Structure 1
């Protein structure tokens, strides 16, 4: 991969922009526990970044035919909504540092998420970020969600940039797989630790947080190699 500055930045949402992954996991755990299907933490952590269909499939595979998926979805929605309505959704540290760098260098950017568009917009509102992203590419706007490449290919098209000149920021193995499939350079910023070994190996760059990402983008725009 050629080392250079970037022409556009593509953000994932859950776990990268928003510290929302723990809220989903807690809601899923509470719903499953209420239904009598307690599962290990490793199972829930493995669902980070996955589309709703993938979460559903893995739950069914893990729990068997006795698992009441409809009731699970109802309960988890109630638990999650109660939490975010009371507490809001936290923004990941360093996001505003990245946005300042993008404004300085006039780099276009967008949000690319497996969430449905309406859900993404609501989550951004709860986090106080409604006016931050001019472009959002959501899971219900493409034929296939991540780990398929569709979302990132659509995002690059919306930004009017070649996909190889966009930099994807992701926190999950699912997102890293999608970036690889799209041919898009990817920074992996793990939202859970220990970080997924496959994503660490296959992402183009590994960074601790968005503050480090901000410094990285700024340095590349100053000194593209």
Structure 2
């Protein structure tokens, strides 16, 4: 039986991919190049550090990766603060239900810790998660499994005792590389993702038996 559920954040808890693209496009236009939607899709699920390392090299940007990350975070927060947002439909109820069942909950996101804290506070979800893990603090980003292996270590869980909920190719690959059962959430705003690599695809968190499906995987 499942003892630990590891949630991705962007595209699973908050429908943020469109907001990320708007903020990234706004910033890259200022930096002198235009980030295409196809380029942005390739970075879904990976860390901003990884993204800016690649873009800095590709476009010979005259800033450090750390400076670009901070500029990107400021741009994203500006958009987020101006946009009314709610958790993805059904995910709050799922989190609350799993917490009631005394399941250990971990948020393992490629986003910076500031972004994780902001979103959880915005949705009043802080109290439900035992651990928050930022992939931006690791050398290797998803699809490397380090972030999920760390989640197992922090919860003292074995891979067969945990499940991951992801919406991106990079996240699914990371979960599978860690040996963890992975639910692929089919988010229409995260297009082009290889959900077939997951163990089970979820179309909606609103289905009545979603908690049972996750607990008995």
Structure 1 length as normaliser, TM-score? 0.81
Aligned to 2:142: 146
Aligned to 1:203: 198
Q: What are the Cα deviations for residues 87-144 of structure 1, in whole angstroms up to 9, with x where unaligned? A: 3643111112212431343222111112233332123223332323221122255453
Q: CA deviation at 1:186?
A: 0.3
> Residues 1-225 of structure 1: matches in 2 within 5 Å?
5-60=1-56, 63-65=58-60, 67-69=61-63, 76-87=72-83, 89-192=85-188, 195-196=191-192, 199-212=194-207, 215-219=209-213, 221=215, 224=216
Is the contact between residue 166 and residue 183 of structure 2 (CA under 8 Å) also seen in structure 1?
yes
In 2, the alpha carbon distance for the partners of 1:73 and 1:193 equals 23
Q: CA deviation at 1:75?
A: 5.2
In 2, the alpha carbon distance for the partners of 1:183 and 1:122 equals 30
In 2, the alpha carbon distance for the partners of 1:39 and 1:141 equals 24
Q: What are the Cα deviations for residues 9-68 of structure 1, in whole angstroms up to 9, with x where unaligned? A: 11111111122222211100111223341233211122211112221133245x532x44
Is the contact between residue 18 and residue 127 of structure 1 (CA under 8 Å) also seen in structure 2?
no
List runs of 5+ in structure 1 lacking aligned partners: none
Is the contact between residue 41 and residue 192 of structure 2 (CA under 8 Å) also seen in structure 1?
no
3-state DSSP class of the match of 1:37? coil
List runs of 5+ in structure 2 lacking aligned partners: none
Is the contact between residue 133 and residue 147 of structure 2 (CA under 8 Å) also seen in structure 1?
yes
| CA RMSD across the alignment | 2.7
Paired residues, number: 215
Q: CA deviation at 1:190?
A: 3.1
Is the contact between residue 183 and residue 201 of structure 2 (CA under 8 Å) also seen in structure 1?
yes
Structure 2 length as normaliser, TM-score? 0.84
Is the contact between residue 17 and residue 95 of structure 1 (CA under 8 Å) also seen in structure 2?
yes
- Greater shift, 179-188 or 84-93, is seen at 84-93
In 2, the alpha carbon distance for the partners of 1:158 and 1:216 equals 25
